[in-house]
Structure 1
Amino acid sequence: MTTEGTSTVDSSAEDPTRRVDIEKTTTATYFQEPPDGGFDAWVSVFGCFLVYFCTLGLINAFGEFNVFYTNDYLSNYPATLISMIGALQVFVLYLLGAWVGPLFDAFGPRYLIPLSGLVVVFALCMLSITQPHHIWQQYLAQAVLLNGAAAFSFYPSMAVIGHWFKRRAAYALGFVVAGSGVSGIVFPIMISKLLPKIGFAWTVRVCALIVLVCYIIATFTIKTYRPTKPLPDSVFKILDFSAFRDLRFTFFTVGAWLSMFSVFNPYFYIAEYSTAMQGPSGLSAYLLAIICAVSIFGRILPGLVADKWGRFNTIIVSTAASGILVLALWYTSASPANNVAFAVLYGFASGPIFTLMPGCVATISPIEKIGARIGILFAVLSTGALAGSPIGGIFVKSKDRESFDHLILYTGITALAGSFFFVLARLQCDKKLFAAV
């Protein structure tokens, strides 16, 4: 009896016909249409929202760290070198995208999310014990370790949306990316209030506690809808360089790369600009929070428009509007009222850039290559993010209006250049002017 049972199990396990059937079933499940909603889908959106709250949100809040570092903690270093911390954050986060995507496809979020969260919290704890006037410590803890770990939850949180949504993908991703806008309200205000009272070390530890709670919730709420896939057997299969043969993808990547040169500058410099123009005031601490607060709506509402009128059309309008606002408002006046008006309008106009880039790539890519192409897009964008803000910092040679005007001109012109290449990519998709692309 035992021998027969063993023989039956062995023969079925080795049956090539059965193995082929299993592979076909797995492939069919992977390519099946997402449900576009449901309890598990929206619970996963909430978990991904919390991950963005802790990852991209901390980057958006760097403006407040920048003010503290420049005026106190790292005051013996030039502004450009300090701003490089923020730029390196984005660079590390984006650069790892090309490799994290295949890991997510192979292992899912079950291991990546909690492990990423533990290392992010550890990095914040290490940041809390860094010493003043030793900038290499902030570089290692805040820029490299924190964001290197964050990448392993940032990209899975983006990819999970594609598992659950198709027609409403831009709308759902807008809620996820809004997490960074919410944390852009919470962290800058909290940091500015806590620093004078409890000091740098305990302020960062409070941030670490919030991040830990968010990651615990995200670990139990983020789920996948499609089965896992094996890891590619070659680095050339991970990095889909063949994507650049498609002019749509090439033009879009150039436009996104130029946008990276500009989009973070107001987030990183508006508080410092306000302080330089009006002196230290309560308004300076709130300008970054205002941008991030309004960007919540700028990341959710355009998703509804994009799903109906076209993702390319929406990102073109938003990027062009961002550049125009920089030149028409931020450049023309340094008054407090003007700064508030710019913060409100720019927060809304710049929001769709973060939300719609993955959706635009998905629109022009085969379903089996979406993850790889989004990964290589962000790997390319990492260089723009690394160079953009530090180049802007070079213009700020002194804390006067003329220096900041050079920064603002650079920001506005590169934003408009990015929108131009988005137009070229859109025309490669469909030359009809009013087509929903």
Structure 2
Amino acid sequence: MATTCIERGSSNESVEIVRINGVAVETVSQFEIEIESSAEYNNNANNNDEEINYPEGGFQAYSVVLGSFLGLMATFGTLNSVGAIQTYVATHQLANVKTSTVSWIFSIYIAVSFANCMVVGPLFDVKGALLPMVVGTLMIFGGFMAVANCDTVGQFILALSICVAIGNSLTITPLVGVLSHWFNLKRGRAIGMATIGGSVGGIIVPLMLDRLYVQVGFVWAIRILAFFCLACNGIAILLCRERICSKTTNYEEDEEGTTTKKNELLVSLMQIKDQFDFKSLLDLKYLFCIIGTFFTEISLLSMLTYLATYAIAQGMSESKSYILLTVFNATGVLGRLVPGILSDKFGHFNIMIAMLIGFSLSMLVMWLPFGSNLNVLYAFAAICGVFSSSILSLTPVCLGSITPVQKFGQRYGLLYFFVSLGNLFGIPVSAAIIGEGTVHQYDMFAVFCCIFGVVGTCCWFVSRFFIVGLKLNVRV
């Protein structure tokens, strides 16, 4: 641990800069502190000493934010609205199929959407955003067109759980990762603004599907959703451009000094292979960041998947259950923007943990004891929507603060690979708990979500502990 004392301003205020576990933080005598953020992860694993300048704003940088916003409106918007599809399918096409069997469609869908980020992350670091986003957009569009005509579990798995999900995974990492190329000090604000797209999509999609199911039927409702995703991702492809890629040379020199051109495909494959760095798991702050995200995402996505059917079991109509999802995602707009701005001032990990504490308390204090009261259920959806939004919006910000920018895609992909394994089994476990769908079984499902939310929050605190210990008056 290295410590440097400096004087700042005319008041000769003494400020102590402390580098702990490779992360620079500042401490002063008061809790509310203004300090210089260190978004670079500067430890022995980062051998690149070259200074990287970030625009931190301007027309081109904010056009990237806009593109990311629109792309995430399609990808995270549909992920946040998966309950609107699950509820309809479970009560219509697959009404005679067990809940636990239907759950595999959506658990595989969510898992694959994030698992493939492990491959896409290194690909983005090496080749940029264009290739994965174009392929992903086409797969999302084609997948939803196929979903419109599905009526068996196997068909839904192929179309939604495989095709659409792989398309999601190809677009999510570039859409989030490209922001780290343009922003450093304002990264929390930029990613918060961009991920609002997920909440906006989560507002639009359930309302759109609820109306279209009645007016044009399931087939054309999903087809219109496909065109919606195509339009959003198409604009994102035009606007999202990376600035920093791993450097390489396409030429090699033999013993005689003769220079020959390397096989470009082989060079690219070797670059991508070199990006898979499992040694990063030895970094305990990164490891507990993964574990914390693992538990909180199982809690959040399980709740989003079954919140509508939970409400129906409590006596709410199907159409109003879609509105419940809309309320959840609408308040998430505030929960993505404000914490992102605050995290730039008070520290990414500090705000993340505060939001997760609110997320856990909202489940323990409102949902668990009073979930049978429909008015309280609306209030819970509104409050929990604010706090839970940080799970998706601040995770990449916190990760960026302990990761060199050239490795962000790789570490982001590796994190969500492990998280996806939890999602793969988390939703079927939730379905097994729900069973026949009695009120008591849904109450046990709420307990399951609460426990996982609390455990995930504790793991995030442990991750922070490995950066600065138990110190509270530190911005990190």
Pair in the same fold by TM > 0.5: yes
Deviations 1:279-316 (A, max 9, x none): 42542120001111111111111001111111111121
Match of 2:331 in 1: 294
Change over 3 Å in CA distance of 1:48–1:234 after alignment to 2:
closer
Deviations 1:334-356 (A, max 9, x none): 11110110000000000111111
Deviations 1:347-401 (A, max 9, x none): 0000111111112122122333322211111111111111222211111122322
Query: Which residue, 272, 297, 314 being the options, matches 2:351?
Result: 314
1:60 maps to a residue whose letter is N
Match of 1:58 in 2: 78
Whole-angstrom CA distance in 1 between matches of 2:81 and 2:394: 21
Whole-angstrom CA distance in 2 between matches of 1:183 and 1:356: 18
Cα contact 2:128–2:242 (8 A) shared by 1:
yes
Whole-angstrom CA distance in 2 between matches of 1:253 and 1:89: 20
Alignment of 1:21-170 (within 5 A): 32-130=52-150, 132=151, 134-170=152-188
Whole-angstrom CA distance in 2 between matches of 1:29 and 1:232: 25
2:134 maps to a residue whose letter is P
Query: Which residue, 223, 226, 230 being the options, matches 2:244?
Result: 226
2:222 maps to a residue whose letter is V
- Segments of structure 2 that go 5 or more residues without pairing to the other structure are 1-46, 249-267
- Report whether the alignment pairs 1:211 with 2:251: no
Whole-angstrom CA distance in 2 between matches of 1:129 and 1:233: 40
Match of 1:19 in 2: none
Cα contact 1:79–1:393 (8 A) shared by 2:
yes
Cα contact 2:245–2:406 (8 A) shared by 1:
no
Query: Which residue, 193, 214, 229 being the options, matches 2:211?
Result: 193
In the TM superposition, residue 57 of structure 1 has moved relative to its aligned partner by: 1.2
Cα contact 1:54–1:180 (8 A) shared by 2:
yes
Whole-angstrom CA distance in 2 between matches of 1:28 and 1:268: 43
Match of 1:401 in 2: 439
In the TM superposition, residue 235 of structure 1 has moved relative to its aligned partner by: 6.6
Whole-angstrom CA distance in 1 between matches of 2:289 and 2:129: 29
Whole-angstrom CA distance in 1 between matches of 2:241 and 2:463: 33
SS at match of 2:365: helix
Match of 2:283 in 1: 246
Q: Percent identity?
A: 26
Whole-angstrom CA distance in 2 between matches of 1:361 and 1:240: 15
2:472 maps to a residue whose letter is L
Match of 2:366 in 1: 329
In the TM superposition, residue 100 of structure 1 has moved relative to its aligned partner by: 0.7
Whole-angstrom CA distance in 2 between matches of 1:375 and 1:104: 10
In the TM superposition, residue 200 of structure 1 has moved relative to its aligned partner by: 1.1
1:290 maps to a residue whose letter is V
In the TM superposition, residue 80 of structure 1 has moved relative to its aligned partner by: 2.1
Q: Name the structure where helix makes up a greater proportion of residues.
A: 1
Worse-matched range after superposition: 251-260 or 39-48:
251-260
TM-score by length of 2: 0.82
Cα contact 2:122–2:276 (8 A) shared by 1:
no
Whole-angstrom CA distance in 1 between matches of 2:422 and 2:408: 21
2:405 maps to a residue whose letter is I
Query: Which residue, 275, 278, 298 being the options, matches 2:312?
Result: 275
Aligned length: 409
In the TM superposition, residue 37 of structure 1 has moved relative to its aligned partner by: 0.6
Cα contact 1:55–1:147 (8 A) shared by 2:
no
Cα contact 1:29–1:226 (8 A) shared by 2:
no
Q: CA RMSD in A?
A: 1.9
Match of 1:177 in 2: 195
TM-score by length of 1: 0.89
Whole-angstrom CA distance in 2 between matches of 1:46 and 1:30: 29
Match of 1:3 in 2: none
- Segments of structure 1 that go 5 or more residues without pairing to the other structure are 1-26
In the TM superposition, residue 105 of structure 1 has moved relative to its aligned partner by: 2.4
Cα contact 1:174–1:300 (8 A) shared by 2:
yes
